[in-house]
Amino acid sequence: MELNIIAFGIAKDILGSSQVQVSLADGKTVGDLLEQLKASYQDFERLASLFVAVNEEYASNETILSATDEVVLIPPVSGG
């Protein structure tokens, strides 16, 4: 399946774009997606903490993905 990944903050910088397409086998999970991103983007491991939203709800690593899902990577935000 082809997933459209939307990224914010440093995740966007690491992926080189605010949106990327990722090929993932059917039945894979958020955790599988994150492992694939780590393998494809060397600096992705710099993200010590990262939230993933699937269809506008926070998702766990065990959440199973489908081709129609909207997946958003949300790194921690800081500021003053």
CATH number at residue 49: 3.10.20.30
The answer to whether residue 16 sits within a structural domain is yes
Q: Residue 70: which domain range?
A: 2-74
- What's the order of all strands across the beta sheet hosting 19-23? 19-23, 2-7, 70-74, 51-54, 57-58
The answer to whether residue 61 sits within a structural domain is yes
Give the per-residue pLDDT at 48.
Answer: 79
Overall domain count for the chain: 1
Q: What is the pLDDT of residues 25-43, one digit of tens each?
A: 999 999 999 999 999 998 9
The answer to whether residue 41 sits within a structural domain is yes
Give the per-residue pLDDT at 77.
Answer: 76
Q: What is the pLDDT of residues 41-64, one digit of tens each?
A: 989 988 878 999 999 999 999 999
The answer to whether residue 38 sits within a structural domain is yes
The answer to whether residue 22 sits within a structural domain is yes
